[in-house]
Amino acid sequence: MERLETGIHAGRLSPAEYEANFSDLHPRLDNHEALVAADRCYFCYDAPCMTACPTSIDIPLFIRQISTGNPLGSAKTIFDQNILGGMCARVCPTEELCEQACVRNTAEERPVEIGRLQRYATDAAMQAGKQFYVRAEATGKRVAVVGAGPAGLAAAHRLAVKGHTVTIYDGREKSGGLNEYGIATYKTVDDFAQKEVDYIMSIGGIDVRHGALLGRDFSLSDLQAQYDAVFLGIGLAGVNALRIEGENLAGVDDAVDFIAALRQAEDKSDIAIGRRVVVLGGGMTAIDAAVQAKLLGAEEVTICYRRGKEHMNASEYEQDLASSNGVIIRHWLAPKSILSQDGKVAAIEVEYTKIVEGRLVGTGETGVIAADQVFKAIGQTFDAAGLGSLRMESGRIAVDAEGHTSLDRVWAGGDCVFGGEDLTVSAVAHGRDAAESIHRTFSATAAPAVAVA
């Protein structure tokens, strides 16, 4: 077999190979497939799949609507709870949430394909341009939403439906947050993230100001002075450092930046990749980076994770997906140093680890893995710039059950809050619920006084 060119290079594959490698991971079901899949649902009373869904979509109802030939009605059932139901159908870890809880998920049977059925319905509505919501009469209330990711978009849409005027501030040049910049390309093809943003914005009453960054261009106190309420859906902006020798060498890159560049590339052949790639981390970002490195033409891709398989944040399904694409996953390895040759990455030295009395420790035994490119996927950090006296908990924004922060008229949700789950669907639930709380607050202050005889 012909060896691939050494070093970090673009254009390792033919155009046909790039197209095939980055095609839709799970194409939309056709009408017949959807009916067959829907027919497997028992339409359970007190369905466990609903309880497992962070947005509490009425799953039996939307599947029954598909089975009766009403995909648009099904889409409305989904959007009533999750306006980003199209993206969630593509990226949700359904194998750990609704499908895991499905009563048909047994040793003898596979679960109902809830995620693919959700995509079937939401795609049908969006492709038909079907809008289910009309803005209420304008209330005169103005809300600032910081962050145009899943939490911010969900909050903005729900607030706009209620008749409030929303301004979204986002530091990027496009809306979508992680849906646009942080999801593997093969999970959301055909610029779907932006199509979903356009669908959400079509409700009206939402203005977006891109290139506006909290802590640089404005502060939270600025927004408090200008708006009746503020929702913070700012996500996690930074990447944890390795803090090892060689981290700043050419060829050591952030996996988040790599995924974002690939998502924004008009031509996949423009993205350079190494021949031997090592990815450090055990979450979804590590899996997405490793699989896409392989799809770009890397000859050897290895994920190194400092703990065991059972400790990885990436689901077992995603781990299997990586393995099926030729990615090697090695456990109980911690990075010790990155070795160089001519100022570039040549290898990574790792130390074997183990757990002693509940703590992860190095064993002292080391090894070397040849590499010309290393991706860091060891978690993201929260940037509190511009938040002033907002109360924090464990380095994130502290909120109550409705998303209230410690400051009056300020709510927050998504990955930036304490207890955030790093899931698109959870962020949507946070944004939706905070919007309802904001609306209740507005309604309470606007209620007329009751005369007392």
Q: What are the tens digits of pLDDT across the range 32-61?
A: 999 999 999 999 989 999 999 999 999 999
The length of the chain in residues reads 453
pLDDT at 418: 86
Strands (E), 402-445: 410-412
* Superfamily name with CATH number, domain 142-237+382-446: FAD/NAD(P)-binding domain (3.50.50.60)
Q: What is the pLDDT of residues 134-160, one digit of tens each?
A: 999 999 999 999 999 999 999 999 999
DSSP, res 48: H
**Residue of 427, 410, 435, 423 whose CA lies nearest to 133:** 435
Predicted confidence band at 421 (pLDDT cuts at 50, 70, 90)?
Answer: confident
Global pTM value? 0.94
Q: What would the CATH number be for the domain defined by 239-380? A: 3.50.50.60
Question: C-alpha angle with apex 366: 346 to 276, nearest 5 degrees?
Answer: 30
Predicted confidence band at 1 (pLDDT cuts at 50, 70, 90)?
Answer: very low
Indicate the class that CATH gives domain 31-127.
mainly alpha
Phi/psi at 443 (5° precision): -65, -40
Q: What is the mean pLDDT of the chain?
A: 94
Predicted confidence band at 422 (pLDDT cuts at 50, 70, 90)?
Answer: confident
Q: How far apart are CA 120 and CA 99, in angstroms?
A: 16
Both tokens assigned to 58 = 């009425």
Q: In what order do the strands lie in the sheet with 359-370?
A: 333-341, 344-356, 359-370
Q: What is the pLDDT of residues 164-208, one digit of tens each?
A: 999 999 999 999 999 999 999 999 999 999 999 999 999 999 999
pLDDT at 380: 87
DSSP, res 451: P
Instruction: Tell me which of 256 and 4 has the higher pLDDT.
Output: 256
Provide mean pLDDT across the span 116-120: 98
pLDDT at 350: 98
Q: What is the pLDDT of residues 276-305, one digit of tens each?
A: 999 999 999 999 999 999 999 999 999 999
Q: How far apart are CA 76 and CA 133, in angstroms?
A: 9
Both tokens assigned to 5 = 């060119």
CB 351 within 8 A of CB 363: yes
CATH 3.50.50.60 intervals, the chain: 142-237+382-446, 239-380
CA distances from 318 to 128, 184, 278, 302, 315 (A): 32, 12, 17, 15, 5
DSSP output for 261-309:
HHHH-SSGGGS-B-SEEEEE-SSHHHHHHHHHHHHTT-SEEEEE-SS-G
**453, pLDDT greater than 90:** no
pLDDT at 3: 44
CATH 1.10.1060.10 intervals, the chain: 31-127
Sequence-distant (6+) residues with CB within 8 A of 215 are: 383, 385, 386, 387
**Residue of 452, 449, 429, 437 whose CA lies nearest to 80:** 429
Q: What is the pLDDT of residues 425-438, one digit of tens each?
A: 999 999 999 999 99
Say what angle helices 59-67 and 71-81 make with each other, to 10 degrees.
Answer: 170
Cα distance between the two ends of the chain: 93
pLDDT at 447: 56
Strands (E), 118-251: 142-146, 165-170, 206-210, 229-232, 238-239
Q: What is the pLDDT of residues 342-376, one digit of tens each?
A: 999 999 999 999 999 999 999 999 999 999 999 99
